[in-house]
């Protein structure tokens, strides 16, 4: 029951608890430009959310860098940098996964910045999926 878009979708499960989902859809990435993947407000209760960020690893080259910024209440909470070390490979795992506990009624923004290494073929798209539960 989720739809493409940057915003939060909510629906009730069989146990009466609220399930959450969001999907950015394919988002164009340009070298050196900060791009918003998701932007929503959490429900009126504490939520446990898992974010998966997908990047086209086949198009990444050694030296390319991806920076992910996480905002809550318009303040930077965390920043992650991922450096590609070989063409088609990355340190860590794909997708990039972040698990978060979000307070009630909190604005959440996930941004990405792609910086291509000199002479590399730039990534063209990225996307972010979020799923979680309210407790």
CATH of domain 8-134: 2.60.120.380
Structure tokens at 125: 């798209």
pTM exceeding the 0.85 threshold for the entire prediction: no
Percent of residues, the chain, with pLDDT higher than 70: 75
pLDDT tens-place string over residues 75-124:
777 888 877 766 555 454 467 888 999 988 899 999 998 888 877 666 67
Residue 1 is predicted with a pLDDT of: 30
For 6-50, the DSSP string reads EEEEEEE-TTSPEEEEEE---EE--BT-EEEEEEEE--SS-EEEE
């Amino acid at each position: 029951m989720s739809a493409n878009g940057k915003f939060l979708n909510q629906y009730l499960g069989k146990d009466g608890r609220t399930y959450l989902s969001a999907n950015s859809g394919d988002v164009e990435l340009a070298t050196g430009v900060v791009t918003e993947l998701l932007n929503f407000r959490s429900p009126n209760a504490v939520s446990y959310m898992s974010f998966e960020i997908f990047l086209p690893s086949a198009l990444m080259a050694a030296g390319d860098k991806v920076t992910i910024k996480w905002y809550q209440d318009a303040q930077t909470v965390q920043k992650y940098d991922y450096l590609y070390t070989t063409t088609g490979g990355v340190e860590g795992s794909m997708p990039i996964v972040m698990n978060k506990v979000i307070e009630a009624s909190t604005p959440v923004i996930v941004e990405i910045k792609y910086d291509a290494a000199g002479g590399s073929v730039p990534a063209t798209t990225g996307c972010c999926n979020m799923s979680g539960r309210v407790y």
